[in-house]
Copies of this chain bind each other. A is one copy, B any other.
Amino acid sequence: MGSINNEIDDINFHVVNPLDPEEFRIQAHKVADFIADYYKNIEQFPVVSQVVPSYLRKTIPQQSAPNAPESLESILQDVSRHVVPGITHWQNPNFFAYFPASNSTAGLVGEMLSTGFNVVGFNWLSSPAVTELEMLVVDWFGEMLNLPKSFMFSGGGSGGGVLQGTTCEAILCTLVAARDKKLKEIGREKLSKLIVYASDQTHMSLQKAAQVAGFSEENFRVIKTTKSESFELSPNSLKMAIQSDIGKGFVPLYLCATIGTTSTNAVDPLDSLCDIALQNGIWVHVDAAYAGSACICPEFRHFINGVEKANSFSLNAHKWFFSAPDCCCLWLKDPSALRNSLSVNPPYLRNRATDSGEVVDYKDWQITLSRRFRAMKLWVVMKSYGVANLRKFLRSHVKMAKLFEELVMKDERFEIVVPRNFGLVCFRLSFNEVDISNAINLKLLEGINETGRAYMTHALIEGMYVIRFAVGGTMTEERHVVKAWKLVQELAEGVLAGV
């Protein structure tokens, strides 16, 4: 880079060009080995990190950025010493918490390729392959899910899909699109009249999106679900809520229906809900963040029946489709609504391709301008495994969850709290009195997680504390599930002895 005349020349050290191909090759090989070894040894680490708040500041030697360069070896040593103890190992096969973040070799190398090209694909011109590969893979995925043609680019209509970061973004985008479309009809001053509908099981993403988009609490209608209806959103309750709102002069706007809720994997009855929504001019978004992936298996496809009547549908490929975060797939029947709300076209981005109207500029389909080359990893995942294997993987997870469920059912101290739909089992130590039950199950769960031998999380439904056991880790095998159940039984004994 020529000679730079500043203080650096006085310091006696040398760095090569920071993107020297041969130096990259050497370092990338070392890091590949480091990660491979991490996976090889991953079961040795406690699944959930056992550190205490502020551990890092206390243990790490450097309180400021170093002035001089450090070798990769020394950095990797610091990773092992200081970072790894603070990692909760989502790829550990004994991770059954939250929902899985199932990675894979294909997802990892796909991400490497994406980062390697390191393009910023805001519009078609900035890297045509980013846009066109994305249009291809969302269509491939749509086809695997048997989505109606109206959601696809190749459908011949105006629909299509896009890869966003997370469901939060997908919901925010579609909510804003629905909001602006409606306000264009009824006048912008009516914002405070619009109503967003959800069930009390809907993911917090919707509430957050509504807050960001300027909705008040009074405009956010949370409909109660019940255990007797398996925590599904009742079409009747929705209808009553809508009628009540209309009676008060409100304008129904947006419904988020969920396929596989976070707490219990409830499946909202899409078909009936969409019918009601259609009658009332409501935008229906289907959030299938976790469970959507499973619907590529014909035997699970019925869970999204009715999607053809919805406006938009999303799932997180980084949850249960073997792709590293972030990768949320969003399909829409009418992306023009999104573009109307999210397009901004400054002169410095003007170009012939955009002007021709022949290309998709994905910057107009999302909150942000810049976007990563997410299509690459999804494409590599699909090609590396093929549809038949992807189905096989998903089925194996559901099969393991079923096994766990059967084990729980065989032990009469426990109960299964809700019917299992996918890879999530909700169970608890069974007690009649809810306070005792909740305290006991909390104690049991904390006991499990403190061992570091498995990680599960909880849900609170109708005031009932339940333990969630979510199968979906790529490295999880039957033996891990059986071992986890034995751990639960073993610890239950101690907890029950103390009652």
Contacts and interface: CB of A to CB of B under 8 A. Distances in A.
Contacts of A192: 188-189
A431 interface: no
Identify the 5 closest CB pairs spanning chains A and B, nearest first.
Answer: A86-B129, A214-B214, A28-B32, A35-B116, A25-B36
Contacts of A55: 128, 132
A318 to B, nearest CB: 8
B60 A136 contact: yes
Nearest to A356: B53
B399 A109 contact: no
Nearest to A118: B103
A48 interface: yes
Nearest to A124: B53
Nearest to A214: B214
A79 B388 contact: no
A458 B348 contact: yes
Contacts of A176: 211-212
A294 B385 CA distance: 44
A265 interface: no
B166 A2 contact: no
A399 B2 contact: yes
Interface in A321-376: 322, 324-326, 341-342, 344-350, 353, 356, 358-359, 367-370, 372, 376
B88 A395 contact: no
With most chain B CB atoms within 10 A of its CB, the pick from A347, A458, A459 is A347
Contact of A370 (B15, B60, B166): B166
Interface stretch (A201-209, A245-253, A275-283): A201-209
A90 B112 contact: no
Interface in A130-162: 130, 132-133, 135-136, 140-141, 143-144, 154
Interface in A384-399: 384-389, 391-393, 395-396, 399
A70 interface: yes
With most chain B CB atoms within 10 A of its CB, the pick from A25, A64, A109, A385 is A109
Contacts of A143: 64-65
Given A69-B384, A83-B129, A113-B35, A370 B168 contact: yes
Given A15-B385, A53-B359, A104-B18, A127 B212 contact: no
Contact of A116 (B38, B203, B318, B388): B38
A370 B208 CA distance: 13
B119 A88 contact: yes
Interface in A167-207: 167-169, 172, 176, 179-180, 188-189, 191-192, 203-205, 207
A125 to B, nearest CB: 7
A118 B106 contact: no
B112 A65 contact: no
A17 B42 CA distance: 15
A212 B65 contact: no
A72 interface: yes
B367 A208 contact: yes
Interface string A216-257: 100000000000000000000000000000000000000000
Size bracket of the A interface = 35 or more
8 contacts: A31-B116, A56-B129, A65-B140, A68-B388, A82-B129, A87-B117, A90-B117, A318-B370
A42 to B, nearest CB: 8
A308 interface: no
A311 interface: no
Interface in A1-58: 1-2, 4, 6-8, 11, 15, 17-25, 27-40, 48-49, 51, 53-57
A140 B356 CA distance: 46
B212 A8 contact: no
Contact of A19 (B54, B60, B383, B474): B474
A498 interface: no
A496 interface: no
Nearest to A1: B396
Contact of A54 (B101, B358, B458): B358
A475 B19 contact: yes
A65 B118 contact: no
